Amino acid sequence: MKAQDLIGLWNQKRAQIIQAQVAPALVLIGIFVLAAIGAFENASDGAKYLTIGVAAATGILAIISQYAAVREAEALLTDLKSASEQSALSKKIADSRGLLSLSAIAIVGLGLGIFALVVWAVLG
């Protein structure tokens, strides 16, 4: 494959990672607003656990989607390194595996951290 074609695929993978963050962000905004106005203080245990479950399910699915896109992008970077018709941009992208690996770690780490904060906000 040509480097230009692989750059197009790279951009698709980046867009997938970003798009996978939209639904959990909306869920978190809703939980944040409800926690800020004190809605969980008098909520039933069922409502609290449902909120935590929805946050967990949304977050887990997003992490899986993002992690899969990162893994595919890592393979794409390997192909990009050996592609024909290299440009300065394709070489720079091909050398970004470290940042891609760092983003995979951040996706999982931040996801767990935010989930812990959701549990604290809902149950605390």
Domains of the chain in start order, with CATH, are 3-123 (1.10.132)
**What's the rounded Cα separation, in Å, for the pair 65 and 34?**
27
Instruction: Tell me what percent of the chain is helix, strand and coil, each rounded to the nearest 5.
Output: 85, 0, 15
Taking Cα atoms as reference points, which of 72, 106, 107, 115 lies closest to residue 80? 72
Question: What per-residue confidence (pLDDT) applies to 41?
Answer: 95
Question: What per-residue confidence (pLDDT) applies to 4?
Answer: 87
- pTM here is 0.82
Q: What are phi and psi of 8, to 5 degrees?
A: -60, -45
Question: What per-residue confidence (pLDDT) applies to 39?
Answer: 96
**pLDDT, tens digit, for every residue of 17-37?**
889 899 999 999 999 999 999
CB-CB contact of 28 with 122 (8 Å)? no
Kindly give the parts of the chain with pLDDT less than 50. Answer: none
**What's the rounded Cα separation, in Å, for the pair 4 and 63?**
28
**What's the rounded Cα separation, in Å, for the pair 8 and 93?**
11
